[in-house]
Structure formats: C-alpha cells, structure tokens
Chains A and B, each alone.
Chain A
Amino acid sequence: MATINELRERIHAESSEEIVHEYLEKIAESKLNAFITVSGESALARARKIDSEGHEGPLAGIPIAIKDNISTKGIRTTCASKILTGYIPPYDAHVIERLKEAGAIIIGKANMDEFAMGTSTETSFYGATKNPWDIERVPGGSSGGSAAAVAGDDVPLALGSDTGGSVRCPASFCGVVGLKPTYGVISRYGLIAYANSLEQIGPFATSVRDVATLFDVIAGYDARDSTSVKRDVNYSSAMKNDVRGLKIGVPEEYFGEGTDEKVEKAVRDAIHKLEDLGASLKDVKMPHTKYALASYYIIAMSEASSNLARFDGMRYGLRVEDSDWHTTFSQVRAAGFGDEVKRRILLGTYALSAGYHDKYYLKALKVRTLIKQDFERAFKNVDVLITPTMPYPAFRLGEKIGDPLSLYLADVDTVPINLAGVPSISVPCGFSEGLPIGMQIIGKHFDEATILRTAYTFEENTDFHIKQPEGV
C-alpha cells in the first residue's frame, strides 16, 4: 500500500499512466467486487494528459474511487440500484470538480448498499462487496466498496458518504481510516440524497494524513448547497503528534449491551494509550443515546421516502411502459427498487402520513434535539469523545441480511453523530481473530482539526494501521 506522498514520488519518477495502469490491473484481478463501474479509458487518458502537461495539484495523477451515489459527468452513476440503469449524469458533483482541480484521477465508481441503505453492502443490485480481511465477510456499509477497495489496495483513496455511519462502519470493518465531517463542511451538491439532513461525503485512506489531505481538497463552501458553510480550513496542518492536555470523554452508553468484549477491550486500551501520551479522561453522560436509533431511522426513512420519489422512469433510468402514467410509475418502482429500499420508502411514507406524522416524524425531531443537547453538554467539559465505531467486527455475508432489525441495531454507535451533525473519524485500533476493530473519535462542530490530531497521534504511536490483509 502506498501513501499519497509515496505515489507522488513514483509519479514523478515514473508516470501517472503507469500508476493508473497498475491499479487498473489490481482492480481487474480483485475478488472484492468493490467496483460497479471502472472508468479505465478515461482514467488513462487523464493520466497521460497530466503526464504530458504537468499538474501542480495535491493529488496530481493519483487515482481515486468514488462511491456510486456521487454524480460524475459522463460516468454512469447507479446508486447500486436497478432503477438508475443507463443513467449517465450530465454534471459533476462539487467534490468531483474539486478532485479534478486537484489533479486526482477517477478510476471508477465504488459499490455500495442500494441508495446507501444498509450496513453491509449486500443490498447492492450489483452484488455484495467482500471484506479483504476475510472474503466470507461483509466490508460494512453502505460505502463498503470504497472501504474495501482502499483496504484491499485496489485504489489508494476513495470517497464515501455517511448518513448514519456509512463511512465509519466500513472503515472499521476494513481496517482503514474514514472521516464523517461536520454537517455543512463538504458540499452535498451532486450527492444523490438518501437523508439530506444527516449525510455528508467523507474520505477514506490508509492513513490519517492522507485522509486529511483528501479532506482539504474536497471541503469548502459551495453556493449550490444552501447547507454549505463558509470556513477557511487547512486540516493537513493538524498533523501533530501531540495529545498532551487533551480532554477525552468516554460515554459509557456506547459500551453497552451487545458490544463485543474484544472490541470493548481494544477501544479501552486505545483510550489508555492516549492517556499515556498525555491526554486526560473524563466520564460523560449522554442519557438520550438509547433513543438515537429510533429517531435516526424515522428521520432518515421519512426523508428517503420523499428523496426517492423522483425515480419514476420519466426522464432517466429504468423504463417500464404501461397503460397510463400512474401504472407506469408503479411498475418502474416495483421493478427498479430492491427490498430494503422499498421497506424504507414504505416506513418513511408511513411516518410522514397524516395521523402518524406527529407521533413519529415530529417526535423523532424532538429526540434529535435532545441528542444534540447531549453532545453540547458533553463538549463543555471535553475536547473529544471516544467510543467503538461498531459494536463488533465484520460479520459473515448473509448472516444478518435476512434480519433487517439486527442490521439497524449495528448502527447504534454511529447514528447519534449524524443526528448531532458533529464530525467523527474511525481509525484502526486492534484486531479480533484477524478482523480489524475501529475506534471512533468524535469532535465538536467544525473541530475536525482536533479529532484528526488525536487520530494522527494514536496512529504515530501504534502500528494497527500498518497491518495489511493477506494477499494484498
């Protein structure tokens, strides 16, 4: 596995074309099914152009995988759904524009749970992605393709999106670094919405430094997203091996029932490691955590039921002709959406319906406010919160897919962060029977610098991130 700096040196010495070619070969030989679309020709053409003309961007000539719910001009974008069959976007998402300006080369579109609805990348119409540490196991989700591709060295960098843990969960299961930024830091323009009020695009890499570099490229204000925030940032400058004086909060609510013993031990060991390095620990109470899952799923499904209404086969995507438009819409949606997507649309529609709206949707919003207040209160006394990212390591393919509720429960430690809109990063902090364990470091709104510094310091003083899956 190579870092951005190593790749830059190789591109300088050899060429971007050679690097891209090498990764394309790896992708072709990969058993992970991490990609839905590989844009080899356009990637090579772009690499040749950068080689001949030169490029000063921080990612010049470096290949990257893009989760397939981010709009890429001229490259089909499927959301891993049958319903977007044949859809080739006429425009680039804001993050894609930023990547192109930085010289990055889009090598392909990464597999995911259909419309980002899932925790295992098994709901993809294009088949499940496999975990490079054990190809019998899931890579996590919903950005499973992005995380597996980076962990399996199919590609050095990737973008995912995180609505309720969809970057951090696969980062944890695949043993890579994944960041969910503060809501509003990265423009969502071009991110195909699952639940708009919760989600952010996030970077994946094998090191905290590379995540910060990629984050620097894609973060920033965009007038096309009304929720985008104006801030000058330079996250790479946060790469300091120093946590002296850092106050760490450890919310016991995140180590509750259902948390694997080995996961708990690895995370507590990691926290003590940071304590040894000069940080101090504080107990914090986050009493509304237990309501987070219910609140999250109601809000996410409600928004999804509306966001996905546009997929009616009228203008793009799957088309099924029938007698009238009413029947045509139904036929297209019946044929185009998978079971999990249908389930969430139905539940979300129900939660917003007259007579249930106040009981579910409105109540979920109220709970969301309480959860935000939990974080605000905690952050009065601490700089970061540390928890397990996932309650357990990667499970087996097929193990939970028949039981949606147990899959939803897997998101217990990640969804409160999206409800609060705060930033959070998952970094490797141990192994359980050869499977990676992730630690979640949560920060204050817009304080990515502190969680990146904490993660970087941990990484500099441990070697969990160096270990690679066999065969890579």
Chain B
Amino acid sequence: MFDEPNKTNPPFSKGSSKYENPDGVKIGLEVHVQLNKLKTKVFCGCTTDYHNDPPNSHVCPVCLGLPGALPVINKKAVEAAIKVGLALNCKVEEHTQFYRKNYYYPDLPKGFQITQYDFPISSQGYVMIEGEDGEHRIGITRAHMEEDPGRLVHEGTIDKSKYTLIDYNRSGMALLEVVSDPDMRSPKEARRYLDKLRNILEYLDVFDGNLEGALRVDANISIMGGQRAEIKNISSHKGAERALLYEIVRQKNVLRRGGVVVLETRHFDEAREITLSMRSKEEAHDYRYFPEPDLVPLKISGWAPAIKETLPELPDARRMRFVEQYGIADDHAKALTSELKLAVFYEEVAKKADPKMAAVWICDVLKGELNYRDLTIDAFRKEHMLSVIELLASKKITEDGAVDIIRTLLDKGGSPEEIVAQKGLVVVEGDIVSTAAEEAIKENPQAVADYKAGKEKALNSLVGAVMKKTKGRADARAAREVLLGKLG
C-alpha cells in the first residue's frame, strides 16, 4: 500500500472556542464525481463530449448493455481515480476489482451497475476544511470507481410525470464515488467540504464542475445519536446546505413530538427546498454484489508512485506558498486559491506587479464586481488588471478611479487607458489641490473651528469639500495632508 499523506497542513485560523454541536449533528456525504475530462467513457470508446448533442447519439453496444457486449476498463480513468485518491490522502491499493451491484431501474441498461465493493481503488484518506471552530478534519472512508447510469427525463416532477424519457449518452461515464466519514457537524461544514472537494478536483484537472451532472451528492444525516436519513437528488453545494438545514429541523420536530427518526431514504425537492420520504418499495435492497466476471482484477501496484509525481500543487499548498512567496494576507491567499483559474490569474499579475496590491484589488474589488455580475474571472483580462495596478502604483489614478475603470471594463469593455482618458480620471496636480484646500478652509469656517477645538472628524468634511472641488480626481489621502499642513 502507498500510505503517502500530504504532510503539509494549511495555516487554518484557530477558533476561539470549541464547537459545541448542540443538536449532535452528524453528516456524512457520498459524492458522485463524474470524471468528465476523460476523452472516453469508462468501459467503451464513446465520447464524453455529449453535453450539446441530441439524446442517445453517443452510445454503443457496450454502454447500451446490448446482449453480448463486454466492458473494457479505460486505463486513463483508473489513473484519474488514483490521482484523486492520492490528493485526498488515501491509501491506494495494490489490486483493485470491479463488482456488480444488481438492481432494476430503467436508466440502468444491464440491470446491474459495475462498481467496486471489496478492494476499492483507494480508502482511508482525509481532507481539511475550515470548520465551525477552525481547522477540521473530514475522513474519507473510500473513493471507488463506478459507471454512470443513463439520465431520466421526467415530464414535470418525478411523482406526477406521465412518461419518462431516457438518455443513455451519460450511461458509462466514469464516476468516482467519494464517501466521507460522518465527520461534518453542521450544514455549513458540509458545504465547505463540498467546496473543498470540488476545488481539489479542479486542480487535478479530472473534472469540469460546470457540466450538467458533474457532481451529485447523497447526504446522510442524524441528530442526537438517532437513526440517519439518506437524502438523495442533491445537485448543488447550496442545495446540500439547504437540504441538511431542512432535515435538522424536521428531525428535531420529530423528536420534540416524542417520535423516533427512522432509517429511510428521502428525496430532496429542490424547488420547495424540502425533503420527502421515498416510497418503501425503494427500500430493503439486497444488491447481491459479486465480482464482475468480465473484468479481471486489476494490478495497480506501481501505478501510484508514478502518478504521485504528476500531482499538481493542491489548493492548501498553494495557499501557503502565496502567503510566503508574495507576503499576502492568509484570507486573500485562501480566496485566491479557492478557484484554480483565480489562482492562476493572480499569480500571473503578481509576477509583474506589486503582489500585495494585486491581492487586495483582485480579492476585495474585482471578485466582488464579478460576483455581482455573475461572471467568472474569464471575463477580465490580466493585462487590464496589470494596467490598473500600475496606474494606481504610480498615483496616476485614485482608488475610486480604479474601481470606476474595473466596472467600466466589465460593463462596456475598452482598455484602462482609454477609460482614464475618456473619463478624465487622471489625478489632478498639487497646485490645484492646494488651491482647492485654501478655498475649502475659507468657505467652511465652522468646520475649521470644530477641528481646531479638537473634533478630528471635522477634517473629513473639509476633505470632502476638496474632493468635490476637484471632481474626485484628487487623491483623498493627499488632500488630507495638504489640509493638515495649511491648518497648522
């Protein structure tokens, strides 16, 4: 076995006190990750690039489960699974084996799913998250490979639909089921775990989280040591948090009324943000697992060390490096590394400009403006960020001017230089500030008197007056200094 945990831990903030977990909440998540950056499906040569194509247009005898067709393992899928296992600090086994999970469902063309049971590809790992009381460890029970079933399309909702359509394009996509230990103590921690997992997967370049069905979550939750409910059909991180919040309230209500929480599977209704008990027919499954005779046990000893060599820098390591290498605040480093593209963007800017300024302007301004417009970092050019920072550093524009430039670039386009010229955002020269300050002192005798009487705040209204006179093109800090000098 290859027990190679990541030795480095990030500089998590220490919580002020230990989290009490008053309701005894225990949450474990089963996350189905589609390895959708592979070129082909897990057991056949069909493309994974079906998202814009008609239903059932990327299928073959194997992924349709036609009589006589046989699966053949995609080696790249195994490599990707090992990569994820290593990144989640798991042990990667020397042999791995596929099993059949037998059950009937219309989206399952063979009447069984090829998955793993004994001998999963990796197990016993962990990830660190920012918990309720600081650094918190979430154990990874196992991460095993399996095939995706087809996609069912209902008319309207699942319970009222008159018919169901099946699209087998998705059938046979490589999935990795990442099963966590029940280590999350609140819906917030569950969401942070999902964010972290997704972040790691994107760094590994095995997964595009923006594609339909890329990440699906089943949540197990219990309170006060009672039975757990399994919640299915969660398709987003926000959905997971909502479903779990609802479920805590529901379980507390059951207990308050003197009832007992029963072990059951519940369906998350995303529109209504509630969980519903699924019919009892779905329960009491005996999946009759047995080794898949058509796939020989896979010897993967020796794969892991080579794959480990190819592991990229992961989010926590990059966060630490940003703090050390660029001297930026940990909060900024955390925000910048929470998204791979953002981290890459920052680093390209930081190499050519003041890294601290870059961190402040990307995290505190640009990211907010992007979020407000529901845009990603792709919408902003790094050359523009460099220009804005250069203009600021050389004091050619004010901070207000810089914000104006960023907003204008996002809304109307152009270049920072053009916007500065068009809007006349160049910082005004010292003489004009000086004249404006003299005028402001003359015109506001009361404020002058207040200031001299010791009211520091009065100075702000004088600064405001100077800014008004210069139409905002003066640097507020410079204006303040000029005023202070003139007031003695």
Contact = CB atoms under 8 A, between A and B. Distances in A.
Interface of A: 69-71, 77, 79, 84, 87, 89-91, 93, 188-193, 195-197, 223-227, 302-303, 305-306, 308-312, 314-316, 325-326, 329, 349, 352-354, 357, 361
A302 B102 CA distance: 11
B288 A226 contact: no
Contact of A70 (B65, B68, B100, B294): B68
A353 B70 contact: no
B293 interface: yes
B286 A353 contact: yes
Given A71-B68, A325-B106, 18 more contacts: A71-B66, A77-B67, A89-B66, A89-B67, A90-B66, A91-B66, A197-B293, A224-B72, A226-B294, A306-B102, A306-B112, A309-B104, A310-B109, A311-B111, A314-B166, A326-B104, A326-B281, A352-B288
Interface string B253-297: 000000000000000000000000000010000101010011110
A77 B61 CA distance: 14
A309 B112 contact: yes
B70 A189 contact: yes
A227 B288 contact: no
Name which of A70, A224, A303, A316 has the most chain B CB atoms within 10 A of its CB. A224
The interface residues of chain A, by DSSP majority, are classed as: loop
B72 A223 contact: yes
Contacts, number: 104
Interface residues of B, number: 30
B68 A312 contact: no
A87 B65 CA distance: 14
Contacts of B66: 71, 89-91, 315-316
Nearest to B281: A326
B290 A191 contact: no
B69 interface: yes
Contacts of B104: 309, 312, 326, 329
A192 B65 CA distance: 11
Contacts of B64: 315
Contacts of B342: none
A316 B72 CA distance: 23
B286 A226 contact: no
A303 B293 contact: yes
Contacts of A90: 61, 66
Contacts of B300: none
Given A312-B104, A352-B288, A352-B290, A226 B68 contact: no
B288 A306 contact: yes
Name which of B70, B72, B164 has the most chain A CB atoms within 10 A of its CB. B70
B370 interface: no
B67 A87 contact: yes
Name which of B73, B105, B166 has the most chain A CB atoms within 10 A of its CB. B105
A81 B174 CA distance: 33
A256 to B, nearest CB: 30
Interface string B71-95: 1110000000000000000000000
A186 to B, nearest CB: 13
B384 interface: no
